[in-house]
Amino acid sequence: MDKILRIDVGASGGPRVTIADMGDYAGLGGRGLTSAIVNAEVPADCHPLGPENKLVIAPGLLSGTSAAMAGRISVGCKSPLTNGIKEANSGGQGGQVLARLGYAAIVIEGGRQGDELYVLRVSKDGATVTADESVRMATNYQLMEKFQPEYGSKGAMISIGTAGEMRLSAASIAVSDVEGRPTRHAGRGGVGAVMGSKGIKAIVLDGTGAEVHKPAHPEAFKAARKEWAKGLAKHPVTGQGLPAYGTNVLTNVINEAGAYPTRNFSTGQFEGASKISGETQAALEVERGGTATHGCQRGCVIKCSGSFNSKEGLFVTKQPEYETVWSHGGNCAIDDLDIIAEIDRLDDDYGLDTIEMGATIAVAMEAGVIPFGDGQGAINLMHEVGKGTPLGRILGSGAAVTARAFGLEHAPVVKGQAMPAYDPRAIKGIGVTYATSTMGADHTAGYAVATNIMKVGGDVDPLAVEGQAELSKNLQIATAAVDSTGMCLFVAFAVLDQPETFQALVDLLNACYDWDLDADGVAAFGKKVLSFERDFNARAGFTPADDRLPSYFKREPLAPHNVVFDISDEELDTVFA
């Protein structure tokens, strides 16, 4: 991975393709590379949908190798949802294929001329961009039907649905899975809208002839790879819990902890949680001929995904993940897995972030647009968004815009981005992450739930004030480093608990790149990535006042613990002091 593919969509005569070496970006990958390029090349005060913004798609440092779990891909830009820097992360096959084709990144830049839509094709022979009117207002599954004969089992597709084409701020970018389906998404921050603003509807990656990325020290890499896989297999979360029930294993856990946001974050427990839990979901999937254990990419050994079939045994969607089941389930007071799966399919097809859309529909429910618990009404609202009706465009702009449009204070957002499936009043470490992350409210930026609730990597009382800022800070640093490797974030459970597994990850990087990293070096790498992001946001106008939760989380107690978010502003400011 020693090349950057640049597509200037505003070039005279049509989009221009150039290939450049890494230059000043050498040694970076994934989130580290996307954030470095955005920070260096995008004016922080630009409009996110204007010609000055850039969309950067980068596999991780270990993507394309034979290491387990290493195929994640990062998408970076200035976010139309937060107006700050954004890195959205996805599984699927795109990261592996792009890396094996030798590209460290695709950078889509410039302002397109006119309203033509383009398809970018990348293979071992180079890249081409062609106008294609037939893809206009196509959904992601329609694009799959059109292009799967091209990318097949060896390639991948990266695409936007109708939401991205309409440049809605909740729009995601789809990445095809092992079966070629558009089920994995770089969901957060409206990255799909930026891709839509550039006129790129789909990127077809032809993996024919692509070669596995060869490490600098093959024998050392092989030894580290074995230790790495062994460590993941023996940890109870990555080796047992996630493979058995998927990420939705958390529904019962978080509900019992009183931190499951219900009815637009009005209470911390949902009476219908058992009906939509991971245990119930896995049993239903198997009963209908689907699977409760499945990898979203080749090389996945955790296999926390699956496939959800209809009552008739027909494929509906990939196994809805915990955040999706929560956002369209408990947060909207819907306890029907078939309804949730149908909405998940619509999210993937139209190209929408499931977290943002679930939070938005819950806001609309509180506003009285439809009642809480109205599953069919929620489906109808999804179609409004997919078709781009006036109401749909409001909803597709996210929870903050929708709350403003309907005159509500209760918008569970930070920096314009909706909070995920953990109430910050009952899990205060994740509240610190929501408040202070460069990305807006984002559980993956520093997953304090692991330590607050699951007691991984230590034990910090979720209801206490003490220790939360330090916990979040350390996890944000570690996460920035992990996101740069291309590793799935779930590896963090084993890495935090098992020193030998952390060392195996370090050994993989050292053997791959002839580096001499140690624990301090990994931390320094994470801090470097965060410094890119903090610098961009500061120049975009963000101040410490933006590193805050909405006031009502400090004012309104959450049942059943009857707690508020009571970590002081001064304590929040210590995270990046």
Q: Please state whether the predicted TM-score (pTM) of the whole model is above 0.85.
A: yes
Q: What is the pLDDT of residues 414-430, one digit of tens each?
A: 999 999 999 999 999 99
Alpha carbon distance 248, 281 (integer Å)? 8
Q: What is the pLDDT of residues 80-108, one digit of tens each?
A: 999 999 999 999 999 999 999 999 999 99
3-state SS, residue 107: strand
Domains located in the chain, CATH noted:
3-205 (3.60.9.10), 216-245+424-577 (1.10.599.10), 253-421 (1.10.569.10)
Give the number of residues written for the chain. 577
The pLDDT value given to residue 295 = 83
Q: What is the pLDDT of residues 139-167, one digit of tens each?
A: 999 999 999 999 998 999 999 999 999 99
Question: Sorting pLDDT into bands at 50, 70 and 90, what band is 489?
Answer: confident
Answer for the pair 175, 164: CB distance below 8 angstroms, yes or no: no
Alpha carbon distance 133, 151 (integer Å)? 20
The pLDDT value given to residue 476 = 98
* Residue 371 pLDDT exceeds 90: yes
Determine the average pLDDT of the residues in 197-209. 97
Determine the average pLDDT of the residues in 195-222. 96
Determine the average pLDDT of the residues in 132-143. 98
The pLDDT value given to residue 100 = 96
The pLDDT value given to residue 1 = 65
The pLDDT value given to residue 300 = 87
CA distances from residue 325 to 249, 290, 398, 522 in whole angstroms, order as listed: 11, 17, 18, 34
Determine the average pLDDT of the residues in 37-62. 98
Determine the average pLDDT of the residues in 369-381. 98
The pLDDT value given to residue 302 = 86
Alpha carbon distance 551, 389 (integer Å)? 32
Q: What is the pLDDT of residues 214-264, one digit of tens each?
A: 999 999 999 999 999 999 999 998 998 888 888 999 999 999 999 999 999
* Residue 60 pLDDT exceeds 80: yes
Answer for the pair 567, 462: CB distance below 8 angstroms, yes or no: no
Q: What is the pLDDT of residues 433-477, one digit of tens each?
A: 999 999 999 999 999 999 999 999 999 999 999 999 999 999 999
Query: DSSP states of 138-204 as a string?
Result: --HHHHHHHHHHHHTTT-EEEE--HHHHTT-TTB-EEE--TTS-S-EEE-GGGHHHHHHHTTEEEEE
The pLDDT value given to residue 223 = 98
